[in-house]
Structure 1
Amino acid sequence: MKDARARTWRLSAILLLAGVAVSIIAGVFHAESHDANDHVASFTAYAESGVWTAVHLGQFIGMALVCAGLVALWPAVDIQRHAVSWTARFGVLSAAAALALYAALQAVDGVALKQAVDAWAAAPEPEKAARFATAEGIRWLEWGMRSYQNLLLGTALVLLGIVVWAARDVSRMIGYLMALSGLAYLVQGWIIGDSGFSAANTLPTLVGIVAILAWTVWLLVSALRMKEEAPAGHVG
């Protein structure tokens, strides 16, 4: 049983770190403007991007791996206390809902917005205002979906961070860092819902990235050690 749980910890850690890595790599190729809330500059950069849809597909794959890793944490932990068991359930549900909303978000951002900005860029001058208004409406829809997706993902990370902290199979600091990254996502969700992709999101975004990188790497190292040590513990 201990060996099986160690393998599940390892699977979860691999999925999580792989998802973070894929998301970061895809994000490197994401077209940007100096101010994401400057829609003229942003839409111009997006229209000029030849890999826009592929980048967003890559980001979706990364998020799918992250959410799969979070769901895999549930069978990995050996939780006997009723309250923490329900915390794990709600965390898994939040992760699943976050992935579903992220799929819709990437369809809006990676497909619909790209088509809208391309049409705006290619439109004759008399049509540009109407085309721009359409693209801007899709952009605001993206804000709303991104806001709620961040809130759901943040909730999943906080809840499952509590579960990892209570499991005691790995360092409790991993649980703390998971919760910290979750709080960062919650803050991002609030800011995006209130003011879009504003400069106010810089700090929580940085905190979230650093925290999630730290705990996913730490979790994988811990899971690999757990797998190696499990047989000796079983014999003893």
Structure 2
Amino acid sequence: MRMRSASKVGSACAIAGVGLLFVGTYLHPMEADPNDPAAAFAEYAADHAWVASHLMQLAGVASMVVALLLLAEQLKSRKGSSVARIGAAGAVVSLALAAALQAVDGIALKAMVEAWAAAPALQKEGVFHAAFAVRQLEIGLASMFCLSMGFTATVFGVALLEDGAFPKWCGGLGIVGGLSTGVAGVVIAYTGFSGLAMAINMPANFLLLLWMLVLGGFMWHRGGAVLEQFQV
């Protein structure tokens, strides 16, 4: 009964996390080229929902991490035990990186671009370079977050394949989404928020969110005890 309850809670967290990330991303301004600092900074400075949207994104990641940790607890007594433990560790690291990323992007960068927008003409260049330095920290954290989250999803996908509690394609979807997210992290590390990085990262994020929705659906409808029927 306790495992069934944990499965329901995990399901709710997975679905809520996807919803929070979707809304937070929807509120994020996206018209300016993120690899054009001046244009991007001007857009960010004018956005009044910036901090709220980034806190919402962080809450979404936290909610999904809770879902993965609850899933790992279920898998620990099954075939995917050791792999699930690695996935749980990756999930915790991913949450820490997400918090650092949103502290830099959602709070520090916002303060810097507002200071740049309001600075007198003679001071603008200096403040711009300071904001650009914060932007580089954001890029570094975004790269590490993608690598960590990609690793975590891939490991959980492998755990699900080994365990047999979910359909094989569910584990496969996690692996594909995780690997593509990891690739996005590497590209961001080398090129920043380039067109290529965004072209890889956006579909990869979609796959991960789809995977979380699928996990949430199965965890809700089947629960801990009912998942036994899929055991091989």
- Using the size of structure 1 for normalisation, the TM-score is 0.89
For residues 206 and 153 of structure 2, the distance between their equivalents in structure 1, rounded to whole angstroms, comes to 14
Is residue 85 of structure 1 aligned with residue 81 of structure 2?
yes
Q: In structure 2, which of residues 92, 96, 116 is the aligned counterpart of residue 96 of structure 1? A: 92
Question: For this pair of structures, how many residues does the alignment match?
Answer: 228
SS of the aligned residue for 1:116 comes to helix
| 1:109 equivalent in structure 2 | 105
For residues 162 and 23 of structure 2, the distance between their equivalents in structure 1, rounded to whole angstroms, comes to 32
Superposed CA RMSD: 2.0
| 1:199 equivalent in structure 2 | 195
Q: In structure 2, which of residues 180, 183, 200 is the aligned counterpart of residue 184 of structure 1? A: 180
| 1:214 equivalent in structure 2 | 210
For residues 164 and 185 of structure 2, the distance between their equivalents in structure 1, rounded to whole angstroms, comes to 30
- Judge conservation of contact 2:10–2:68 (CA < 8 Å) in 1: yes
- Using the size of structure 2 for normalisation, the TM-score is 0.91
- Judge conservation of contact 1:184–1:204 (CA < 8 Å) in 2: yes
| 1:58 equivalent in structure 2 | 56
SS of the aligned residue for 2:32 comes to coil
Identity %: 31
Is residue 7 of structure 1 aligned with residue 8 of structure 2?
no
Q: Which moved more, 1:207-216 or 1:135-144?
A: 207-216
| 1:74 equivalent in structure 2 | 72
For residues 69 and 225 of structure 2, the distance between their equivalents in structure 1, rounded to whole angstroms, comes to 24
Q: Which runs of 5+ in 2 are unaligned?
A: none
Matches within 5 A, 1:143-162: 143-162=139-158
Q: 1:172 to 1:137 in 2, by over 3 A?
A: same
Residue 66 (structure 1) shift? 1.1
Larger radius of gyration: 1
- Judge conservation of contact 1:154–1:184 (CA < 8 Å) in 2: yes
Q: Which runs of 5+ in 1 are unaligned?
A: none
Q: 1:138 to 1:70 in 2, by over 3 A?
A: same
| 1:138 equivalent in structure 2 | 134
Q: Show CA shifts across 1:174-232 (max 9, x none).
A: 1111111111210111111111111112332233233223323322332233249839x
SS of the aligned residue for 2:35 comes to coil
For residues 100 and 73 of structure 2, the distance between their equivalents in structure 1, rounded to whole angstroms, comes to 28
Structure 1 consecutive aligned stretches of length 4 or more whose deviation exceeds 4 Å: 78-81
